């Protein structure tokens, strides 16, 4: 699947970093992927791997020190990286929408939720107050808020966490976005509410032909809602494949580790399974494969040469093992094929 479908969003070789006093530090290192029309792409990866930074770059909402250092973000054929703030704010909430992790921080405590949703409608549509409120009411009904007409007059603190998240979704959907980015949309909620919200998003997606890019730690959720899955590691895409392929036949050693260590997929979890070792910090990033400090299969050249992201058996994968070069590469010194005792320090020294 893939090539023949229309891409709604195309991220190409995206480099993002943070300005520091004299230099800048790179975080996203050549991130490339697409979101096709009408699909749900889930992004997974350990904390700090750059998932939120990827979504914020797309939305044009990078923190102050953040900068796009290279690459393209194409939405409907236009490069968002070249747009100014005004153009981006017109797109946001209109064609492009985002739901953030913690609804309390994104809702304004001093206005009623109805007013806030109506405001969003009025920012993007030439409509009067009354019409904006009736659109808000319609959205509250759509997202399953009980007694919606009364809830419009509530302040955020008067609603439960699940209801606030529904308000956020109503707000994000008010202008019929073509792409909805949901960054951990349900982690703050309890499990039954999580399931309801995800089901809701899925229904709305089907009804409106919307594309969803969803970030979540929960592989159980991923296996249920994703059409395709993108795995990130230390600021890079390391694997991308359709749902079934990724779970049944993971190709990258990191993805294999993730999936092998899920005790039971359906089990309630809010963190990714544990793989030994830790993610290298941006300042101490290995020169070659960024996973080489933890990879049980690493060869000598993995430490110095960065593997390309390329197609392999219906997957896109970044690992030397899936290239012609693998056979000629030098085994990790003094270690047999199935494992090694090298420490992280050994590997970083290069």
Ligand X SMILES: Nc1ncnc2c1ncn2[C@@H]1O[C@H](COP(=O)(O)OP(=O)(O)OP(=O)(O)O)[C@@H](O)[C@H]1O
Interface residues toward ligand X, by CB under 6 A: 18, 27, 45, 47-53, 63, 65, 282
Residue 241 CB, nearest approach to Mg ion (Å): 22
Could you tell me which stretch among 171-179, 186-194, 240-248, 292-300 binds ligand SF4 (CB under 6 A)? 292-300
Look at the block and give the residue holding tokens 């659109």: 135
Options 302, 309, 332, 340; binder of ligand SF4; rule CB under 6 A? 302
Contact partner, 53, from ligand SF4, Mg ion, ligand X, none, Cβ < 5-8 Å per class: ligand X
| Binding of ligand SF4 by 307 (CB under 6 A) | yes
Could you tell me which stretch among 23-31, 173-181, 187-195, 286-294 binds ligand SF4 (CB under 6 A)? 286-294
Residue 183 CB, nearest approach to Mg ion (Å): 6
Tell me the residue nearest to Mg ion as measured from the CB. Answer: 52
| Binding of ligand SF4 by 309 (CB under 6 A) | no
Could you tell me which stretch among 140-148, 183-191, 206-214, 287-295 binds ligand SF4 (CB under 6 A)? 287-295
Options 136, 180, 226, 289; binder of ligand SF4; rule CB under 6 A? 289
Secondary structure of the chain in the HEC alphabet?
Answer: CCCCCCEEEEEEEEEEEEECCCCEEEEEEEEEEEEECCCEEEEECCCCCCHHHHHHHHHCCCCCCEEEEEEEEEECCEEHHHCCHHHHHHHECCCEEEECCCHHHHCCCCCCHHHHHHHHHHHHCCCCHHHHHHHHHHHHHHCCCCCHHHHCCCCHHHCCHHHHHHHHHHHHHCCCCCEEEEECCCCCCCHHHHHHHHHHHHHHHHHHCCEEEEECCCHHHHHHHCCEEEEEECCEEEEEEEHHHHHHCCCCHHHHHHHHCCCCCCCCCCCCCCCCCCCCCHHHCCCCCCCCCCCCCCEHHHHCCCCCEEEECCEEEECHHHCCCHHHCCECCCCCCCCCCCCHHHHHCC
Residue 331 CB, nearest approach to ligand SF4 (Å): 11
Q: Considering beta carbons, is residue 173 or 259 the nearer one to ligand SF4?
A: 259
Residue 297 CB, nearest approach to ligand X (Å): 24
Contact partner, 319, from Mg ion, ligand SF4, ligand X, none, Cβ < 5-8 Å per class: ligand SF4
Contact partner, 63, from ligand X, Mg ion, ligand SF4, none, Cβ < 5-8 Å per class: ligand X
Q: Considering beta carbons, is residue 100 or 140 the nearer one to ligand X?
A: 100
Could you tell me which stretch among 87-95, 143-151, 270-278, 297-305 binds ligand SF4 (CB under 6 A)? 297-305
């Amino acid at each position: 699947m893939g090539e023949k479908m229309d891409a709604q969003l195309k991220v190409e070789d995206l480099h993002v970093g943070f300005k520091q006093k004299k230099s800048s530090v790179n975080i996203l290192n050549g991130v490339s992927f697409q979101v096709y029309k009408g699909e749900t792409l889930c992004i997974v990866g350990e904390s700090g791997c750059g998932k939120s930074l990827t979504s914020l770059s797309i939305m044009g909402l990078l923190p102050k020190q953040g900068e796009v250092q290279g690459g393209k973000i194409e939405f409907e054929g236009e490069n968002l990286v070249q747009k100014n703030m005004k153009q981006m704010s017109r797109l946001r909430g209109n064609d492009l929408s985002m739901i953030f992790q913690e609804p309390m921080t994104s809702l304004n405590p001093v206005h009623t939720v109805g007013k806030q949703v109506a405001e969003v409608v009025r920012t993007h549509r030439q409509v009067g107050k009354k019409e904006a409120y009736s659109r808000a009411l319609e959205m509250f009904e759509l997202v399953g808020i009980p007694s919606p007409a009364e809830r419009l007059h509530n302040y955020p603190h008067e609603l439960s966490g699940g209801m606030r998240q529904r308000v956020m979704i109503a707000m994000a959907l008010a202008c019929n976005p073509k792409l909805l980015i949901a960054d951990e949309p349900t982690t703050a909620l309890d499990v039954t509410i999580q399931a309801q919200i995800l089901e809701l998003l899925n229904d709305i997606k089907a009804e409106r032909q919307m594309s969803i890019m969803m970030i979540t730690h929960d592989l159980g959720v991923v296996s249920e809602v994703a059409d395709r899955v993108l795995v990130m590691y230390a600021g890079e895409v390391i694997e991308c494949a359709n749902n079934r392929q990724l779970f049944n036949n993971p190709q990258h050693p990191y993805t294999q580790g993730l999936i092998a260590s899920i005790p039971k997929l359906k089990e309630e979890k809010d963190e990714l399974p544990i793989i030994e070792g830790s993610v290298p910090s941006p300042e101490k990033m290995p020169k070659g494969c960024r996973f080489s400090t933890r990879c049980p299969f690493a060869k000598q050249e993995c430490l110095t040469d960065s593997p390309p992201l390329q197609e392999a058996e219906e997957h896109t994968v970044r690992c030397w093992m899936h290239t012609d070069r693998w056979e000629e590469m030098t085994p990790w010194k003094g270690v047999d094929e199935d494992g090694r005792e090298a420490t992280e320090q050994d590997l970083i020294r290069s």
